[in-house]
Amino acid sequence: MSKLNASDIQGFALRGYGMPLARYVFLQLGEPERARTLIGKLLPTVTTGQRWDQGKPRSTLNIAFSFRGLMQLDLPLATLVSFPVEFQEGMKARGGILGDTGANGSRHWNSVWHDGDKVHLWICIHALVPMEIESRYAELERLLEETGGATILQYQDAGSLVIDGMPTNKEHFGYTDGFGNPDYLGIERKSQPGQGKLMKDGSWAPLATGELLLGYADEAGELPVAPVPHLLAANGTFMVYRKLQQNVVAFREHLERWSAVYPGGKEKLASKFMGRWRDGTPVELSADRPDWSIVQDPERSTNFTYGDDLDGTKCPIGGHIRRANPRDTFGFNGALVNRRRITRRGLTYGSYVAEDQPVSDEERGIIFIVLNACISRQFEFIQQQWMEYGNDAHLGNDKDLITGNHGGAGKSVIQGDTTRENPPLICDKLTNFVELKGGDYFFLPSITALGMIAFGIVDPR
């Protein structure tokens, strides 16, 4: 397959920008003609997927629409009803499917997500320094005043956790994050073994482009469900935005409680929870100790399978990264997993507190963003079947230990062997270490589609 037309694809879909700061802005669109004028003014500022031959820019901007936003823009009815049902319903309405109930239910979400699905437009600003964020945001405010096309409801700042004065890839539980986004055919990026799909000879190959972008064949050789006309859908993707609050106090207390009776020690138990040591070393490659040389080696850091560890002796079957991407756990050389892969974006929010320092319940967490061609087949399946239900992994009703909606009654089994340093352990009375505070489903259109929307020329015929 030839390379994609990166100039027609929003850069946010094709690459992780690797910038330490972001501001996610939520807007309510105004009268349709004014809203379209705003989109037209924003269009030249949208960052595309073109290669940065002159080096990384100081800031980027990308935009996406909720289904209610597309309705507000007066898209033709035939186009609106052609969008996938899960996107039309929105994330709040899918709460029962996703396990977003109890403490994760929408009545506990931040206020911007409460009132009548008013979030129509999502604008993301990434930047290298705070001044660039503020400059882009000020320009957005100017355009809003000039066009009257939308109103800012709220924004969410996020950024890499700064430790010892340096931005890092850590999250608030202390784990190094950011491994393993998939490779796709035609998308130019630095790839590593283990990031694509497992081949019969043990090598790795890119996934079909249609697992990420609309208008291309997916792993089944089919075109994912997409809106009409084709030009509106092609080179676009669907985005899931979830604000996940991390309950650091509860996590640290739980880890202390169970490590006190776990002979392998606190850090080994923490590695069992995640499937990686906190420095990022995969447990599957180094079961007894972290190994920084593996983390730093792109040929090894994501290059592993679970086929020789089906009993979970090294990496527990319920380890977070194993549940999120089981690789070859289910047999068939991993083929059952290839149509469930997602691309992750996002950053942390809130202040970092070192492991040896007292921590409060101040709001902190992760802005978790998913890009996928089919929300129901990819994100929703992973969330429902692998995160909130354990049957595929023969774990019954056990939820994911890290992200599961446990409600104080959860259980997780840490498999082990007969050695003293690696015994099995059952953790019970699990509470929620992560709580959902809002979000929705969005459509991230191509540059062509943005132009069609701006000029009011979306024609499903």
What pLDDT was estimated at residue 331? 87
pTM of the shown model: 0.97
Pairwise CA distance, residues 21 & 262, whole Å: 38
Neighbouring-strand partners of residue 366? 244, 348
What pLDDT was estimated at residue 52? 92
CA angle 405, 284, 399 (to 5 degrees): 10
Per-residue burial over 19-42, b if 16 or more Cβ lie within 10 Å, else e, is: bbbbbbbbbbbbeeeebbbbbbbb
User: For the chain, which ranges sit under pLDDT 50?
Assistant: none
How confident is the model over 34-47, as pLDDT tens digits? 999 999 999 999 99
The domain segmentation of the chain, as residue ranges, is 6-162+203-237+443-454, 243-438
How confident is the model over 291-305, as pLDDT tens digits? 999 999 999 999 999
Q: Are 354 and 317 in contact (CB under 8 A)?
A: no
Pairwise CA distance, residues 416 & 411, whole Å: 16
- Give the residue from 100, 146, 128, 141 showing the smallest Cα distance to 240: 100
Q: Which residues contact 225 (CB under 8 A, 6 or more apart)?
A: 84, 374
